[in-house]
Amino acid sequence: MKIRVLAALVLGLACGSVAAQTARTAPDGLEPVQTILQENRLLIEQGSRTTIGPVIDALANSGLPQAQAVLQAWQAKDMWQRKSDGLFFAGQKADGSYTLTDFDSGETVGRADKNALDQIKPNSGIRALIGAALVQFQLSDPDPALRADAVATMARRADASMLAPLRASIPGETDPALLAQKKRLEALLTMAFDPDDAARVAAIDAAGSDLGLDLRATLNPLVATRRAVSAGAVPEGLNIARQLTPGTDALPRAEAWAMLVQAGLAAPLKTPHDRNAALEQHIEKGKVGGVPLVQLNSEAKRDQAYANLAAAGLVTGYVPAEEQARTLESHSFYDEYLEPSAPVTEAAQAALTRIALKVGANQALDLGLDALSLASIYFLAAIGLAITFGVMGVINMAHGEFIMMGAYTGYVVQQVVPGHTLSIIVAIPAAFAVTFMAGVALERLIIRHLYQRPLESLLATFGVSIVLQQLAKNIFGTQARPLTAPAWLDGAWVVNDVVSISFIRIAIFVLALLFLALFLFIMKRTRLGLETRAVTQNPRMAASMGINPARVNMLTFGLGSGIAGIAGVAIGLFAKVTSEMGGGYIVQSFMTVVVGGVGNIWGTLAGAVMIGFTQKGIEWFNPSNTLAAQTYMIVFIIIFIQFKPRGIIALKGRAAGD
C-alpha cells in the first residue's frame, strides 16, 4: 500500500512538472478553454484518475460558460484531439469522418478523418469526477429536470466543494419545490462543511427536532467518536467525549491493554500458563531465575522468578498484575469526537436528543396505528362470527372458509370485470351473495339439526371446513391467487419519516366502521334485527309472539356468513388468497368474540382492539419472532378469561348461557 501511494505521488509530481512544461510551450493566442486544455494536455492524454482531478477542477472553477460543454463532451467520450496540433474539439461522426466543433466559439471548424484524431476516453472513475464537477453547472440549468438531478446528486455525494455553488444557485431558483430542496440541502451541507462554527451551530439549532433521515444522517457523523490512548495526560486541543477508566464496564482491562499494544505503548501479554511454561524450561540446579523450586508455591515468587529471567534476557512478555495496573494508570484512555469543534458536537448531541424523544413519540404513534389497523382486520373477520356464534350460539369452525370463499369470489370477479376499481365494487356484493347462500345452505342442511349440541356442531362444521378447503384446491389449485387492489389504494399515507400506514389498511379500517354501523342499523332499526334480538333472549316467547325462530336463525346465519365473505375480499387485498387462508383468522375471530363478550357487537369491537393492541405490543418487545408473540398473546387471553369469563362486555340471554 505504501509503495502504491509513493508511486502515485511520484507520478503526480512528474505529471505536474510535464504540465508546467506544456504550459510554457503552449501556443500563444488560444481562447480561454483551449488554453486550460493545452496547459494540462499531457494529464488529459494520460487519463489517470489519480492525477486528473486538478484538470477537472481547473475547468469547473474557471468561471467560463464553455467549461460545461467541455466537461459534458469529455464525459460522453465526444472529446477528440487533433494529432497535427494537439488541439481539443468536440467531435460528432458524420459520413465516415468527424465534424469538429471549437469549444470556445461553439462553431464548426472543419472535418477530419478518424486517423487524424485521438479520442479522449475517460474511464469510469474519471467520468464520476466529471459528473460531480458538472453538478454546479446543472444547479442553474434552465431545465428543471437537470436542476433536480443536480440536487439529488449533491445529496448523494455531498462534500465541502458543493456548498458555495449551491448557495449561489438559491437566489435564482424559480421552482418552489426545488427551492425548498436546495434550502434544505444547503442547511445540511452547512452543518457538515461550513468553515464557520457559528453558522454550523445556527443551522443545527434551526433544524429543531426534524425527523428527516437526511438530518439524522448529517448529525450522526458529528457525534461519532474514536477510542484512543496516550501516555500521561490527555493531549490538549482535542474534542473529548469522555475519559475512560480501565477495569470498568466501559473499558475492560484486557481491552485497555490491547489498546496499549496497538499503539505501541506495551508488549502483548502472556498468560500465567505461558509464564509457568517458561519457568519450567529454565530450571537449573533446582532453581528458576535464582529462586528455589520449593519457594515457587505463590504467585509473588513465580512473578519474581520470571522477572529475574526477563532481566537476564531469557524471557519476555509476561507482566505481573501489579505492574499491569501501574502501566494502565500511567496512561490516559478516552473517546474523542471525530469532529474537532466542541460547540458543533454539543449542538449536534442536543439536536439528536430532541430528535430521539420525538422519534420515540412517533414510533409509539406508528405502533398504535399498526395496532388499530390489526384490530380493524380482526374485527372485520370476527363480525360475522359475532352473529353466528355470539347471537346464535353455534360454534362454526367453517367461518374461516367463508372468508376464503369471499376472497376467491373477488378473484373470480376480477378475471371477468375489467378495471380493478369496478371489479372490487362488484366483488363486495358478489362475495356477500355467494357466502350468504352458502351459509343458508349450511344452516338448513346441517346446523339446524344441531342446535343446543355444541360438540356435534363443532365437529360437523370442522368437517365442512376441510371439505371447502379441498374443494377450493381442486378448483383453484394450491398456488396463491392475486386479488389486486385499485391503483388509488397503492402506497401509504406518510405522516413523516417514522409514521406511515398503507391506504389498503386505511380502507379496511373504514370498511370495518361501515359494517359496525350497518350491523347496528340492522339490529336496532330493522324487523330482522328485532326478531333476532327476540329469539336471542327468549326463543320460546318469540315463537309465541308469531316469530318463526327457524327462519330467523337461517337469515341470521346467512347474514353472518355473508359478512365473512366481504371480510374475505378486504383481507385478500393484502394477504395471499389460498385455500388455507381462513385458518389464519378463525382462532383470532373466536378469541375476539369470546374476549369481547359473546353476543355483543360492542364487545366484539372491544375484543378486537384489545387483541390487536396486545399482539402489536408483544411484537414490539420481540419483533424478530411473531410466532412467539402470538403464543404470548394466547397465554395472555387465557389468563384474562380466568378473571373475565364472560368477556369485556357480557350479554344476558341464550348466547350468554342462560
Residues 107 and 150 in one domain: no
Residues 154 and 88 in one domain: no
Residue 326 lies in a domain: no
What is the per-residue burial (b if ≥16 Cβ within 10 Å, else e) of 145-157? Answer: ebbbbbbebbbee
Residues 427 and 498 in one domain: yes
Residue 328 lies in a domain: no
Residue 215 lies in a domain: yes
Residues 196 and 48 in one domain: no
Q: What pTM value is reported for the model?
A: 0.66
Q: Which of 130-139, 223-232, 373-382 shows the highest mean pLDDT?
A: 223-232
User: Do 596 and 606 form a contact (C-beta atoms < 8 A)?
Assistant: yes
Average pLDDT over residues 512-539: 82
Residue 329 lies in a domain: no
Q: Three cell numbers at 284? A: 537449573
Rounded to the nearest angstrom, the gap between the alpha carbon of residue 163 and the centroid of all alpha carbons in its chain is 29
Range of the domain at 284: 270-318
Edge-first strand order for the sheet with 283-284 is: 283-284, 287-288, 291-292
pLDDT over 80 at 22, yes or no: no
Question: DSSP class of residue 495?
Answer: S
Name the average pLDDT for the chain: 83
Q: Which long-range contacts (CB under 8 A, 24 or more apart) does 504-509 make?
A: 504/573, 504/574, 505/373, 505/376, 505/377, 505/574, 506/373, 507/570, 507/573, 508/373, 508/376, 508/377, 508/380, 508/570, 508/571, 508/573, 508/574, 509/372, 509/373, 509/376
Q: Structurally, how many domains does the chain consist of?
A: 4
Q: Three cell numbers at 498? A: 417514522
Rg over alpha carbons for the chain, rounded to the nearest Å, is 39
* Cα 512–Cα 490–Cα 589 angle in degrees, nearest 5: 30
Of 121, 137, 153, which marks where a domain is finished?
Answer: 137
Residues 143 and 216 in one domain: yes
Cα dihedral sign for 616, 397, 514, 655?
A: negative
Residue 61 lies in a domain: yes
Q: Three cell numbers at 73? A: 463532451
Residues 418 and 500 in one domain: yes
Average pLDDT over residues 42-60: 86
Residue 527 lies in a domain: yes
Average pLDDT over residues 507-536: 83
Residues 644 and 630 in one domain: yes
Residue 485 lies in a domain: yes
User: Do 203 and 191 form a contact (C-beta atoms < 8 A)?
Assistant: yes
Task: Look up residue 373 and give its amino acid.
Answer: S
Residues 173 and 97 in one domain: no
Of 303, 318, 333, which marks where a domain is finished?
Answer: 318
Dump pLDDT digits (tens) for 229-281: 998 888 888 999 999 999 888 899 889 988 998 888 887 877 788 788 888 88
Report how far residue 328's alpha carbon sits from residue 245's, in angstroms, rounded to the nearest whole number: 9
Task: Please report, for residues 221, 395, 449, 516, 553, the alpha-carbon distance to residue 650 in angstroms, rounded to integers and kept in the order given.
Answer: 57, 18, 27, 18, 21
Residues 385 and 529 in one domain: yes
Average pLDDT over residues 71-88: 89
Residues 92 and 180 in one domain: no
Report how far residue 275's alpha carbon sits from residue 280's, in angstroms, rounded to the nearest whole number: 9
* Cα 77–Cα 79–Cα 82 angle in degrees, nearest 5: 135
Residue 351 lies in a domain: no
Residues 515 and 406 in one domain: yes
pLDDT over 80 at 288, yes or no: yes
Q: Scanning the structure block, which residue is given the C-alpha cell 509476561? A: 318
Q: Three cell numbers at 116? A: 487524424
Residues 497 and 643 in one domain: yes
